[in-house]
């Protein structure tokens, strides 16, 4: 194997613009024109600790799942944590294209599909990326086979693979953080991701809101909690492509009613976010001065505080 040098992810010493203010309740009285984006950390919120498995989930397409998975991974890796991202979306495999896996030469290439069909372990399907501290389990369109021809116990596959890996590593995951980037559907692979995770992180695109969609995600999370994963909780809602509007504010209030224990975190809109995947770099590296880089940095520090990351 030819080792590629891995790029260190920078810490953001002077984040763009002002950092977002952290509040414990919404200020309902200020008119929205005078309102500033704020991070809501309700008194019931509990920050996560390593080792933690997150699923970034919303069945609505284009909600900001892949962007959130990549940027949170980059923020935690910059803070010195060992991070793995699992691509659980067969459709465009956007994550596997963005975080180009570094396959060793002359060996079979595994993916999340191989883990579902018991062709390899999770560790064998995990590859380095070009970024220090971030590894990836890639996927491609063949992950759809899981939906058409489900292997026995498919819903439990990710949970079992994570448990087996931790056991082999002496009872603790070799990663401080695992982030699963879910597909825009509530199919079997998404249910397996929810079943394997400790926490769901829900990105919602401001302006792309669909109330019916939010209700069905809520219902799926509830039934996973009842049937396959009672420990699952919603840790944070990320309001992506945030712009100041009366609507953004209403949305923030609504999600904190739906998920009273979750942090609600705005991620400001920037064209740089849309450009970053083409450069095959996280926004943090491509445009460290752009608002979303700083907002995701703060989001990471709130969700799972690590040495070196200050909210």
Residues that bind ligand ATP (CB under 6 A): 61-67, 89, 94, 184, 240-241, 267, 269-270, 273-274, 292
Q: CB of 163: closest distance to ligand ATP in angstroms?
A: 27
Q: Which does 62 bind (CB under 5 to 8 A by kind): ligand ATP, Mg ion, none?
A: ligand ATP
Nearer to Mg ion, 51 or 66 (CB): 66
Q: CB of 230: closest distance to ligand ATP in angstroms?
A: 26
Q: Which parts of this chain interact with Mg ion (CB under 5 A)?
A: 65-66, 94
Nearer to ligand ATP, 62 or 174 (CB): 62
DSSP per residue, the chain = -PPPPPBPPPP-SS-SSSPPEEESS---SS-GGG---EEE--TT-----SSEEEEE--SSTTSSHHHHHHHHHHHHHHTT--EEEEEE--SS-HHHHHT---PPTTSPPP-HHHHHTTSS-TTTT-EE-SBTTEEEE---GGGGHHHHSPPTTGGGHHHHHHHHHHHHTTSS-S-SEEEEEE-SS-SHHHHHHHHH-SEEEEEEETT---HHHHHHHHHHHHHHHHHT-TT-EEEEEEEEEE---HHHHHHHHHHHHHSTTSEEEEEE--HHHHHHHHHTS-HHHH-TTSHHHHHHHHHHHHHS--TT---
Nearer to ligand ATP, 57 or 173 (CB): 57
Q: Which does 63 bind (CB under 5 to 8 A by kind): ligand ATP, Mg ion, none?
A: ligand ATP
Nearer to ligand ATP, 51 or 99 (CB): 99
Q: CB of 63: closest distance to ligand ATP in angstroms?
A: 4
Angstrom distance (rounded) from CA 209 to CA 201: 16
Q: CB of 236: closest distance to ligand ATP in angstroms?
A: 15
Q: Which does 273 bind (CB under 5 to 8 A by kind): Mg ion, ligand ATP, none?
A: ligand ATP
Nearer to Mg ion, 165 or 181 (CB): 181
Nearer to ligand ATP, 37 or 64 (CB): 64
Please state the length of the chain: 311
Q: Which does 61 bind (CB under 5 to 8 A by kind): ligand ATP, Mg ion, none?
A: ligand ATP
Q: Which does 194 bind (CB under 5 to 8 A by kind): Mg ion, ligand ATP, none?
A: none
Q: CB of 66: closest distance to ligand ATP in angstroms?
A: 3
């Amino acid at each position: 194997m030819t080792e590629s040098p891995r790029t260190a992810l920078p810490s953001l010493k002077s984040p763009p613009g002002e950092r977002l203010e952290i509040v414990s309740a919404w200020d309902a009285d200020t008119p929205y024109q005078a309102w500033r984006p704020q991070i809501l950390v309700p008194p019931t919120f509990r920050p996560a600790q390593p080792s933690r498995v997150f699923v970034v989930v919303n069945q609505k397409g284009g909600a900001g799942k892949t962007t959130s998975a990549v940027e949170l991974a980059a923020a935690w890796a910059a803070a010195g944590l060992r991070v793995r991202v699992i691509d659980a979306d067969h459709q465009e495999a956007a994550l596997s294209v963005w975080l180009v896996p570094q396959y060793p030469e002359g060996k079979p290439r595994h993916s999340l599909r191989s883990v579902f069909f018991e062709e390899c372990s999770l560790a064998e399907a995990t590859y380095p990326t070009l970024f220090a501290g971030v590894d990836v389990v890639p996927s491609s369109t063949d992950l759809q086979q899981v939906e058409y021809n489900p292997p026995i116990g498919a819903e439990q596959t990710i949970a079992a693979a994570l448990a087996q890996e931790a056991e082999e590593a002496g009872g603790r995951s070799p990663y401080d953080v695992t982030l699963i980037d879910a597909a825009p559907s509530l199919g079997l692979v998404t249910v397996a991701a929810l079943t394997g995770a400790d926490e769901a992180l829900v990105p919602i695109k401001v302006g792309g809101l669909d109330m019916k969609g939010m209700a069905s995600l809520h219902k799926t999370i509830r039934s996973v909690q009842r049937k396959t994963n009672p420990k699952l909780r919603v840790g944070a809602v990320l309001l992506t492509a945030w712009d100041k509007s009366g609507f953004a504010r209403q949305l923030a209030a609504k999600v904190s009613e739906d998920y009273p224990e979750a942090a609600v975190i705005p991620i400001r809109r920037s064209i740089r976010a849309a450009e970053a995947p083409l450069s095959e770099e996280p926004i943090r590296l491509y445009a460290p001065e752009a608002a979303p880089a700083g907002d995701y940095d703060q989001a990471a520090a709130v969700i799972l505080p690590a040495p070196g990351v200050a909210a």
